[in-house]
Amino acid sequence: MTTTRTLAPGSATDLGALTARDLMRPVAGVIAEDATLREVVARFVSGGCRHLLVLDRDGRCAGVLAPRHVAQAPARGRAEPGPPNSRSRRRRGSCGCPRRGLAWVGGSARPRRRRTMPFCKTRDGVEIFYKDWGSGRPVVFIHGWPLSGDAWQSQLKAVADAGYRGIAHDRRGHGRSTPVYDGYDWDTFADDLNDLITGLDLRDVTLVAHSMGGGELARYIGRHGTGRLHSAVLLSAITPLMLQGPNNPEGVPNEVFQQLKQGIVAERSQFWHETAVVFFGANRDGNKVTQGNKDEFWYMAMQETVEGGVACVDAFANTDFTDDLKKFDVPTLIVHGDDDQVVPIDATAHKSVKIIPDATLKVYPGGAHGLVLVPGYKEQFDKDLLDFLAK
């Protein structure tokens, strides 16, 4: 028989005390008698009341209490939770990243900590979401347009399994980061990256950047130097210049960039479906592109803000990163497919390798722009990346 109970002051038990069997059992929700907060108490039923999982108004876990702490709820001793979807009251570290911990109900004993969603708050208040896997020398992945840090899932696992610390963030306006209206320029992107690196106090870092992320990497070095860096990797990167002109005849005509912006504004969902084909080279005979590749591209692209999508086109179309590339003084691996229909290799990789002092170019025959996600090329890149990291 289910009994309604309320919470009294006391410390929370270790989350590890809950077994897999406990978590699979039915949960009953009741309202606590404390009318001030009206917390929802979910009781795990396992041969009696073994543990109580406390949820706040937003449905987030606030703690776990053992039966000896179950009694009449007090009227004081609780912190008022923030409004729905607010992170304003989360405890944060020096970079704005939420500290790991449990809120507790009254009492003086502090409960064990738990993991929370990792965000880094930038100098202008934007919250940058990031994944942080493994331990060891850090490898920071910078995604391309219009994707998110999820594009690096395979590489994050590969480096973490190999004994490195893999970190991948969502650029502002992309993925789970703050969907801002402005700030889509290279100096801002580079400063966001610097906020993440310094906030997490990362040193001896290898930066790995894809496509538009190459511009972010280049501008980071241009503005903040290489004091915290070990090496760099440019994959299908837009550097040094994308726009076609008298001094860059191999570049992309301006009309193409205007069509990209028009497609985003007109009907972005269909536009991203169509763009995925060229992005992965699914229009080439004998390609190994899967439907999953195209679906994943569409899903990540739809998380990007409309303004971010349009503004980023202007940013990567018109910016010349030559001066930034000249400031590279760390070993740099450049990887590019010779069938990239989005970022032509002759306008980018073949020129970057001549500008960066200590650079090595690897060309993937038949490789498309999004090769890092395509079966076959993905495994090849993972191997080349790990070999480069080991040097």
Residue positions annotated with a catalytic role: 211, 340, 369
DSSP-derived letter for residue 337 is: E
With a CB cutoff of 8 Å and minimum separation 6, the contacts of 54 are 7, 39, 41, 42, 61, 62, 63, 64, 65, 105
For residues 195 and 95, the answer to whether their CB atoms sit within 8 Å is yes
Q: CA nearest 306: which of 270, 258, 262, 264?
A: 264
Residues 247, 249: Cα–Cα separation, whole Å: 6
- Residue 385, classed as helix, strand or coil, is helix
With a CB cutoff of 8 Å and minimum separation 6, the contacts of 24 are none
Place of tokens 């080279």: 281
Residues 317, 294: Cα–Cα separation, whole Å: 24
Q: What are the Cα distances from residue 251, in Å, to 49, 128, 173, 338, 349? A: 68, 32, 27, 14, 12
In three state form, how does the secondary structure of 14-66 look?
Answer: CHHHCCHHHHHCCEEEEECCCCCCCCEEEEEECCCEEEEEEECCCCCEEEEEC
Q: How many residues does the chain have?
A: 391
Q: Which two tokens stand for residue 144?
A: 């391309």
Phi then psi dihedrals of residue 21, to 5 deg: -65, -40
